[in-house]
A and B are shown apart, each in its own frame.
Chain A
Amino acid sequence: MAEIIKLKTPLTDEDVMKLKAGDVVSVSGVIYTGRDAAHKRLVECLERNEPMPIDVKGQIMYYVGPSPAKPGQPIGSCGPTTSYRMDPYTPTMLEQGMKGMIGKGPRSKEVIEAMQKYKGVYLAAIGGAAAVIAKAVKTCEVITYEDLGAEAIHKLEVEDLVCFVAVDAQGGNLYETGRLPYKKD
């Protein structure tokens, strides 16, 4: 496998632009969690001309709804959820300055175009490796939308969370090209 590129959050345009679909990265620093319900609320804030409760500039959103933490643990199992459900909200998030997303599964054409326009990167974590991923999470606190439970926005500090660059800011898309060498007959 390719050499692992270390990424430290927050991300700059330069960080994003050097990544290519198929690269392997390890993410360290602060990232924010958010799923369907939280994204809906964030985008609704903007529609009402209110500021979002978190500043997403340069940040990575991790699409995850963790299991509850056991006593003494920062977080429970926390693998990625399927990203396409966030597609309707993603161009707006990128417009607001979000630089990265961690999830699993393919994205829409609109999202991929917005990633090129605003310079964003989409990383795939391993779905179903949730207990292993939890080990990369050092701290976890709820930032907003606590009433959403697992779907609340959490601030996570992660260390060496290994992901694959699935879609890059030039439109490179591993979900399309990755399967080509293995497609038979």
Chain B
Amino acid sequence: MRELQASVIADAVEKLCMDAAYYLPEDVKAALKARSEQEESEIGKYILAEVCENYKVAAEEQMPLCQDTGTALFIIEMGQELVVTGGGMVDAINEGVRRGYTNGYLRKSMVAEPIFERVNTKDNTPAVIHTEITEGDGLKITLLPKGGGAENCSAVKMLRPADGLQGVMDFVVETVNVAGGKPCPPVIVGVGVGGTADYAAYLSKKALNREIGEHNPNPNYAKMETELLERINKLGVGPQGLGGVTTALAVNVEYFPCHIASLPVFVTMNCHSQRHKSIEL
């Protein structure tokens, strides 16, 4: 058994929130640069150049890349031989979010209840936390700050097994097409296939954490990712939906076994400000 103080987790999460908001990951920078060179639309080129300038300014001035610093969405991979002492795990994560969003001048975007009052919690808590139990005594904390505009374009479809590959591909492409300029293209598309409706949703979030350019190890799914990206970039949506050949930077697909009757597909849309950062404690 390994012991880990809750305060160590809170401190690490505080820093993680700020770093994720200020510094665009290298894989996203590289993808934006590469796509800028291929863009054909004049407005599209201008937008991509401004987006590249933006990540430089944000890092230099330690300002959020986007004013929407998102729902603090965590994926926690926690070893079964790890014991958190001196406080609760969930409390420690929320304490880190509270301090990170306050001390880092990040926007607080959470309301306490979604329909009736919608009062801001003023510290961006609570975080949305997904947990996976792993072997050993490690702790890996991944933060995906999830902006509202892109998340609003996410979609689920419970396909019939007979709909197969074509059905899945068509649904993903149509989701990006319908979203148009709303999710701040060029987007990163996370796709979860299989499991149950809720698990496919989780897989689609997990897919967003995969580095751009890295493919699913299953060659069928890797091929699907490449073909989806090609089809999406032929839609014409372009940067910010104003036209062009850069509609998506990547499509990442994750899958899980599923019921004989089912073929769930969940598409999570993310903007070009694809913030994702992990730490191990």
Q: Nearest Cβ in chain B — how far from A67, in angstroms? A: 5
Q: Which chain A residues border B53 with CB–CB below 8 Å? A: 129, 132
Q: Is B5 an interface residue (CB 8 A)?
A: no
Q: Are A70 and B105 in touch, CB under 8 angstroms? A: yes
Which residues of the partner chain A approach B69 to less than 8 Å between Cβ atoms? 67
Query: Are the C-beta atoms of B149 and A82 separated by less than 8 Å?
Result: yes
A131 to B182 Cα, complex, angstroms: 20
Interface residues on A, range: 35 or more
Chain B interface residue number, banded: 35 or more
Of A105, A135, A166, the contact of B57 (CB 8 Å cutoff): A135
Decide: A128 and B54 in contact? CB cutoff 8 A.
yes
- Whether A84 lies near B43 (C-beta < 8 A) is no
Which of A1, A67, A70 touches B46 (beta carbons < 8 Å)?
A1
A-B contact count (CB 8 A): 168
Q: Which residues of A contact B271 (CB under 8 A)?
A: 127-128
CB-CB < 8 A to B238: which residues of A? 178-179, 182
Closest Cβ of chain B to A75, distance in Å, is 9
Point out the residues of chain A lying under 8 angstroms from B243, CB to CB.
174, 177-182
Whether A126 contacts B47 by the Cβ 8 Å rule is yes
Q: Is the CB of A183 within 8 A of B234?
A: yes
Complex Cα gap A81–B152 (Å) = 12
Cα A78 to Cα B53 in complex, Å, equals: 15
Chain B residues near A22: list those with CB within 8 A.
Answer: 43
B150 nearest CB neighbor, chain A only: A82
Interface residues, chain A, CB within 8 Å of chain B? Answer: 1-2, 22, 24, 37, 64-70, 76-79, 81-82, 84, 104-106, 124, 126-132, 134-135, 148-151, 162, 164, 166, 174-175, 177-185
**Would you list 30 pairs from A and B whose C-beta atoms are within 8 A, ordered by A residue?**
A1-B43, A24-B43, A24-B46, A67-B69, A70-B63, A77-B58, A78-B67, A81-B68, A84-B182, A104-B181, A106-B241, A124-B242, A126-B51, A128-B51, A128-B54, A128-B184, A130-B64, A132-B53, A164-B242, A174-B242, A175-B180, A175-B181, A178-B43, A179-B236, A179-B237, A179-B241, A179-B243, A181-B243, A182-B41, A184-B234
